[in-house]
Every structure is written in C-alpha cells, then in structure tokens.
Structure 1
Amino acid sequence: MDNSIYDVIIIGAGPIGIACGIAAKNNNLSHLIIEKGCLVNSLYNYPINMTFFSSSERLEIEEIPFVTTNPKPKRAEALEYYRRVHDKYKLNTCLFEEVLACNKNEGVFEIKTSKAQYIAKHVIVATGFYDIPMYLNIPGENLPKVSHYYKDPHYYAGMNVVVVGASNSSIDAALETYRKGAKVTLVVRATDISHRVKYWVRPDILNRISEGSIDVYFESNLSAIRQNEVVISTPKGDVTIPNDFVLALTGYRPNFELLRKFSINVPDEECMIPEHNPETMETNIGGLYLAGVVCGGLNTHLWFIENSRIHAKMIMDSILSKN
C-alpha cells in the first residue's frame, strides 16, 4: 500500500485528466493520475486515420501550442501532443492500473486498484465515455465478426460490410472501407445522415450514396446477425443481405456502474447525468469531483476537450477554497 496521502487523485489520464494534473501541480497540490489503459487511452482507440473536428488550438492545454500542418489535427498528432505535454510537466501517473473502488472514510478517500491502494483528500473522476458501447441487443451481436470499435479499413478489403449508424465514426468507417474495396451497406435509424457529421465529410458520403457506391437503408434497424448474412428491418419489411462483417458504431456511454460504486448519484431517467454542482464540479460526495465528458452522462455531445478544459481550474478553485 502507498502510505502517502495525496491532495488529489485523478482517475483517467485523458486530455482532461492531464489538465487536472497540471492544475494540481501548478497549485502545489500533490497528485496522482491513475489510468486503466495507456496514456490518453480513448484517443489511442480512435480509428487510425481519424481527423478531429476541432482545430488544434482548441485542443491545447495550458496554452502549450499544438502545432500541425493540417487544417484539423489527426489522431497520431494528438497522441504525440498530449504525451509531450504530460512529460513536460512530469506528471505523477500510473498506467495500466484499473480503479476498482473509491470509498470515503473519516474525511479521506481510500482507493483500491488492480495493483495497489491509495489515500487522497480529494478525487477527480475524468473517465470519459468511450469504454462501453451502446449495444444493439439483437441475435448474433456476440459473433466474432461484429465489432463496436473501428480501427483500420484494410482489414475489410473485398468484404461485405454493414456499418450501423450515421455519426462521424460510422461515416468515416463506411467511406474508408469502401475505398479499400469493401461492399458497404449503411443502416441508419434516422431519415438522413446526421448533420453532426464533419462538414467536409458529409458531402462525400451523400455523393457516394447518390451514385450507388454505398448502399443505405434509412429509417431502418439491424434486427439479426448471422454467420453469412444480416437481417435489416426497413419501412418496407425485412431485408436479408450477404454479410462478412458488422461495424456496429452506435455510440458509447460512461461507466455508470463505476460511478455508482463510488456512491455518486446517477439518475435512471433522461440522460443519466451524474449529480454534480456545475459551478464547482463537485458531486454529491464532498471532495469527489467530475471532469470532462463524463459529466454529460448519455449526452455525450455536451462536453468535448475544447469546452471542458475549464473543469480543471473550476475544481482546483473549489479545493483551494476549502483548504
């Protein structure tokens, strides 16, 4: 057991977790960042060729320049940037260490991980939302050919691929796999491609659909997945098509079960936004804070890197006011 009593323990080493670590260090507060995967684990699991919607200056931390020659930065550039920022500030970070429990006892937090136990005066949860997919809950979803994450298009070359969803990740996957020679079919619940799709990508997918290069079923749902085919429920009835792979890119959600284990109130209704004070980011447990995307619950379009960086300062102001 680590016998140190940290001023702040931060759960999650994403961009916002890093920002919180820097804010703690700048205010002379002892800190520890605990991350269950690699540094900026969520960004690492983004598609290899992904381009951010935000410009590089809006992704910066502590006004450290994020330099890129592209109009929008790519995943590899973001990984390099945040690693360099982390190393510049010499943040105290434990990687590949999962937090299993966080309990408040006699005014301090006792944190148990997969490797050790720690004590802290304050805890910040900055775990994002990319860990748990929004499952379809249909027959065949557990087949090996089904994936809820997408990395590289080459794997699907020459295959019959169904992509479920109309968000940025779905459209990127559809276009990239199509350009590597896959026969792509999009299954979309809505009546159109989402207007949240990156503005320079949306015309591309609409043109590919219009010319017949990519098939699409609007107002439809995937209802069953079989070894060599899938069943699509459409307004005109069920359609069965040949299939080799399914990319069910239907979104992700925060780890609500973990938050509840920490005794944070998470309502079952609406967007399941965890209870917190929007002025201090403190939860219903005194000294336990939320930062970043996790604050929005199921409304994962509410907070981004660019608009949640301020959480670090808000939390530190709250902690310092108590001290």
Structure 2
Amino acid sequence: MLDIVIIGGGPIGLACGLAAQKAGLSFVIIEKGTLVNSLYNYPSTMTFFSTSEKLEIGGFPFSTTHVKPNRADALEYYRRVALANSLPLNLFEEVLSVNKANDENQAYNINTSKSSYKATHIVIATGFYDIAVNLDIPGENLPKVKHYYQDPHFYTLQKVLVVGASNSSVDVALETYRKGAEVTMVVRDSEISNRVKYWVRPDILNRIEEGSIKAYFNSNLKAIREREVDIQTPTGMVTIPNDFVMAMTGYKPNFDFLRNIGVNLSNDGKYIPQYNPQTMETNLPGVYLAGVVCGGMDTHLWFIENSRIHAKMIIDHICAPLT
C-alpha cells in the first residue's frame, strides 16, 4: 500500500511528488496523458506571463536565456526535474474510479485504465485544461471548430473567426493574422480584456483600430455553418464567410470526476470544491486538492506560481501525525 497516489502529472503534481519524496513517503504520480500534458498541448509559440523563477518547483533552478520562458523551455525544465529525481510516473494511464477501502487503515482503492492501487492519501492535481467550455450553439461540433490551438501556419489564407478576448484569443488572432489569415474577433464584452499580457494588448488594440483585424464587441456567435457564421451584434445579426472558428472560450476542471469521488462542490455556478485552505484537505479525509483545480470555474485564481505552495502544505499535513 502506498502513502499517496497523486492524480495529475503537471507542474503541481510533480511538485507534490518532490515534496513527498523529500519526506520519505511512498507514492506514484498517475497522468492520463504525457508528462505535463497541459503544457504540451499549449500553442507552440506560447510565452509565459511569469518569469522562470516563479515556475520553479522543488527548489530546482529554472534557467533560460529568455526573460519570460516559452513552452519549449517549460517542457525541458519539468522533464529534466522529473527524470533527474526519478519520480515514479505512470503516464498515459487514466484514473477511472476512487473508492473507500473497507479496512482498518481507512485507505482508498484507485482503479485506472491499466492497473489498481491502494493508498492512505490521494492528491488531486488535475488542472483544468482538458475540458473546453462549450458555446452551446448550432454547428459547434463541426470539424472546423477548434477549442485548442497549436500553430498559426495552418490558417494561412483562411477566414478565421476568434471567439473571446483573453490572452489565448488575442494570441490566436495576432499570430494567425501575421501568417496571412483574414481574422475576425467576436467579443461579448465592450473591450479586450485587461488581463491580456501587457506587452501584447497594445498590439491587438492597434490592429483592431487600423482595421487589420475586425472585431465585433458586445457581440455573440450564434450559429456556425460549413462556409459561414452568424454573429449577433448590437446593430443586428451579421453573417460572414468563414473557414475556421477558434473558440477560445476557456476550460474547466473535470467536475464529474470530483463529484464521483465524493468531493463537495459549491452550488453557485462556480463549482468550487470544498477544502481546508490551511491543509488543502477536502471533505473526504485523506483526499487533497492542489493547483488550479481548487478554483472551480474561477480558473484565473490559481496558477503555477501561486499554487506551488500547496505541495508543502499537503505533505506537511500528511506527515504531521507521523511526528
């Protein structure tokens, strides 16, 4: 039997593993995709808002020649940390169920797509990037609608509609425009978000002002068809030709997984999981949350840099009865 099963092999899951290893606990990290799967699926051109030292885990330096590291830098760093410390990682293995074991140890049974485990503690560090927030409009399931974005070259000479005004939306709009796409943005608010990276926001504002990128503010995408889309604007419905829809509408944690385990979620539409902010333990004894999953639908609350501390908080609480 293990001391801990860590569900999620992202930066915070790795941080929890490093803390557990330092404390001498037995554990395994289970990840349904590749190592730091969410970062791997980030756009190839993505640059972090944070500097490298704020992304460090386990006290291991993150050295890069860039002022702000990019996706490749982060993949290299987290891979080197994981391999150098021989963290027990089971990749491409999905956790299917978690059930309380009927034994005196008050342990949990964890069943996966490849095996089964028993542990006295569970850390859920599953992030929020795996499930896109849907538009819930006709045509959303067409192949031309994308909720994830990799590289701008693919959209050369295409009519691209970008939904949203956050960092990801602005990056998609600017990068595809600069690769020769005809870009239109649909923004439900009256302006580009103030959360957009400060060195990028002036760029998108200037492109919109000069007309290089068309933007419909206070508007909503209403329907998608093979060759066109309908946009509800303040002045009425507008139909424009379209080849691809980039629905940068955000992502959400796997709430069904949390519910099935038995973690309580708030009823206010934010679905914030119940946990003790001092220990990160949920309403289930021995089950902890770490990282952005703690924020429910408020995915702007937790990041790598401010949730790294969860690892120490959790391991300290697990080890407390042992001292």
What TM-score, normalized to structure 1?
A: 0.98
- Residue 254 of structure 2 corresponds to which residue in structure 1? 255
Q: Is 2:33 aligned against 1:26?
A: no
Matches within 5 A, 1:137-286: 137-286=136-285
Give the Cα–Cα distance (whole angstroms) in 2 for the partners of residues 268 and 44 of structure 1: 33
Give the Cα–Cα distance (whole angstroms) in 2 for the partners of residues 223 and 286 of structure 1: 45
| 1:41-77 residue CA offsets vs partner (Å, 9 max, x unmatched) | 0000000000000000100112211111111100010
Q: Is 2:88 aligned against 1:92?
A: yes
- Residue 104 of structure 1 corresponds to which residue in structure 2? 100
Shift of 1:268: 3.0
- Residue 57 of structure 1 corresponds to which residue in structure 2? 53
Give the Cα–Cα distance (whole angstroms) in 2 for the partners of residues 66 and 205 of structure 1: 30
The one-letter code sitting in structure 2 at the alignment partner of 1:315 is I
The one-letter code sitting in structure 1 at the alignment partner of 2:186 is V
Give the Cα–Cα distance (whole angstroms) in 2 for the partners of residues 74 and 122 of structure 1: 34
Give the Cα–Cα distance (whole angstroms) in 1 for the partners of residues 228 and 311 of structure 2: 48
Give the Cα–Cα distance (whole angstroms) in 2 for the partners of residues 118 and 98 of structure 1: 12
After TM superposition, the runs of 4+ consecutive aligned structure 1 residues lying more than 6 A away are: none
Give the Cα–Cα distance (whole angstroms) in 1 for the partners of residues 89 and 10 of structure 2: 11
Q: Is 2:71 aligned against 1:75?
A: yes
The one-letter code sitting in structure 2 at the alignment partner of 1:90 is S
Q: Is 2:38 aligned against 1:42?
A: yes
Give the Cα–Cα distance (whole angstroms) in 2 for the partners of residues 39 and 58 of structure 1: 20
Structure 1, gaps ≥5 residues long = none
| 1:98-124 residue CA offsets vs partner (Å, 9 max, x unmatched) | 000011123101000001110001000
SS at match of 2:313: helix
SS at match of 1:196: coil
The one-letter code sitting in structure 2 at the alignment partner of 1:298 is M
The one-letter code sitting in structure 2 at the alignment partner of 1:158 is L
SS at match of 1:19: helix
Give the Cα–Cα distance (whole angstroms) in 2 for the partners of residues 123 and 64 of structure 1: 24
| 1:221-275 residue CA offsets vs partner (Å, 9 max, x unmatched) | 0000001000000010000000000000010000000001111011231421100
Matches within 5 A, 1:287-306: 287-306=286-305
SS at match of 1:161: strand
SS at match of 1:315: helix
- Residue 14 of structure 1 corresponds to which residue in structure 2? 10
Identical positions, percent: 65
SS at match of 2:194: coil
Give the Cα–Cα distance (whole angstroms) in 2 for the partners of residues 118 and 249 of structure 1: 37
Give the Cα–Cα distance (whole angstroms) in 2 for the partners of residues 103 and 290 of structure 1: 17
Give the Cα–Cα distance (whole angstroms) in 1 for the partners of residues 200 and 45 of structure 2: 13
Give the Cα–Cα distance (whole angstroms) in 2 for the partners of residues 9 and 128 of structure 1: 16
SS at match of 1:169: helix
SS at match of 2:231: strand
Give the Cα–Cα distance (whole angstroms) in 2 for the partners of residues 63 and 120 of structure 1: 27
Shift of 1:278: 0.4
The one-letter code sitting in structure 2 at the alignment partner of 1:84 is R
Give the Cα–Cα distance (whole angstroms) in 2 for the partners of residues 86 and 104 of structure 1: 30
The one-letter code sitting in structure 1 at the alignment partner of 2:209 is S
SS at match of 1:240: strand
Shift of 1:203: 0.4
Give the Cα–Cα distance (whole angstroms) in 1 for the partners of residues 66 and 231 of structure 2: 39
Shift of 1:322: 2.6
The one-letter code sitting in structure 2 at the alignment partner of 1:54 is S
Give the Cα–Cα distance (whole angstroms) in 1 for the partners of residues 266 and 298 of structure 2: 13
Shift of 1:88: 1.4
- Residue 114 of structure 1 corresponds to which residue in structure 2? 113
Give the Cα–Cα distance (whole angstroms) in 2 for the partners of residues 317 and 91 of structure 1: 19
What TM-score, normalized to structure 2?
A: 0.98
